[in-house]
Copies of this chain bind each other. A is one copy, B any other.
Amino acid sequence: MTALNVAVGPTEDSHIVDAVKQAGGEVTDLADARVLVWIGGPDGFPDLPDGVEWVALSTAGIERFVEAGTLDGRRTWTNASGFYAEGVAEHALGLLLAGTRQIVKAARTRWAKDEIDTSVLTLRGATVSIVGAGGIGRELAPRLKACGATVIAVNRSGRPLEEADRTVSWDRTDEVLAESDHVVLAAPDTPETHHLMNNRTLALLKPHSWVVNIARGPLIDEEALHRALVDGVIGGAALDVTDPEPPPEDHPLYDLPNVVITPHVANPASGLTREMAPFLTDNLRRFAAGEELMALVDPDRDY
């Protein structure tokens, strides 16, 4: 049996080192490694010796690695797709409730009862769509349903997401938006999803609708969003991601009472390796056993 030698970079994070040991592996130099666990972005990514059979990236979105040309076809690559889904789903629910229950507005006012009392919404009986429903959607749907919402999942294939009330394929997104009270964006950033929410699609929503984005900033045309919010086309926006990040200090979205922006913390960097660790252990065991890995990077897969 070949030893399970694993290099960890750019720094030897303790959660990751523990995860390697849990799987029966040993942390070694890159020169001796069969696996590289890379807890960082594309900057500073090392030249890979031929002995590295598998690179485990620590982010769910790998756009920046793709752009940087980091990925090659000479070995296996995994990302962390699905590893952080529960936390991100929780954040999405928190953003939606903070918006719809007018907690965002309350945080910026003092007992504005007349205004807030009449605008508090409930998820009971509301229809919430999740556009780009994969791992995060699978975790978010039951949380929304526990609050009495009806959940429509939208994904590329239309392959039913078991946890949703209904799944619809990507080409019918307009239809879904038109019947949604609220929408959560959970799709990757691709040419297809660029400015998915724009003047036209925002107008399909309702005057009370909240748009939640825990995916990628470019999914929303922020100028169109600003206009829709000012004109009352929709009710509010709760964004964990923006385009660019951070937004300029004087971004007009900051000035709107019905917008909250969290600084890309749905999956906090500070907790990332702790969250990833059990999945990495599992994947290392699969690797050692010659089984298929989780979260294989495949540009053609369905998000």
Interface membership of A86, Cβ < 8 A: yes
Measured CA separation A104–B95 after assembly (Å): 10
- A92-130 with Cβ < 8 A to chain B: 93-95, 97-98, 100-104, 106-108, 110-113, 116-118, 120, 122-124
The answer to whether A97 and B87 touch across the interface, beta carbons within 8 angstroms, is no
Q: How large is the interface on A (under 10, 10 to 19, 20 to 34, 35 or more residues)?
A: 35 or more
Q: Which residues of B contact A107 (CB under 8 A)?
A: 98, 104, 107-108, 260
Instruction: List 16 other contacts, CB 8 Å, given A91-B120, A104-B107, A146-B146.
Output: A86-B122, A90-B123, A93-B97, A93-B147, A98-B98, A98-B103, A101-B265, A106-B265, A107-B260, A110-B246, A111-B263, A113-B264, A117-B263, A118-B268, A120-B271, A122-B271
Partner of A87, one of B104, B124, B260: B124
Q: A143 at interface (Cβ–Cβ under 8 A)?
A: yes
Pick from B106, B112, B124, B261: contact of A111, CB below 8 A.
B261
What residue of chain B has the Cβ atom nearest to residue A145's Cβ? B146
A124 to B91, CA, bound (A): 12
Bound complex: CA A146 to CA B261 (Å): 25
Residues of B within 8 A of A265 (CB): 101-102, 106, 113, 116-117, 120
Contact B147 A112 (CB under 8 A): no
Residue numbers in B under 8 Å from A103 (CB-CB): 94-95, 98, 103-104, 238, 260, 262
Residue among A111, A245, A271 with max Cβ neighbours from chain B (10 Å): A111
Task: State how many copies of this chain the complex holds.
Answer: 2
Is A254 close to B, CB under 8 A? yes
Chain B residue at smallest Cβ distance from A101 = B94
Of the candidates A103, A124, A145, the one having the most CB atoms from chain B within 10 angstroms of its own CB is A103
Asked if A270 is at the interface of the complex by the 8 Å CB criterion, the answer is: yes
Interfacial residues of chain A within 222-266, with CB under 8 A of chain B in the complex:
238, 245-247, 249, 254, 260-265
Cβ A98 vs Cβ B102 within 8 A: no
- Residues of B near A146 (CB, < 8 A) are 142-143, 145-146
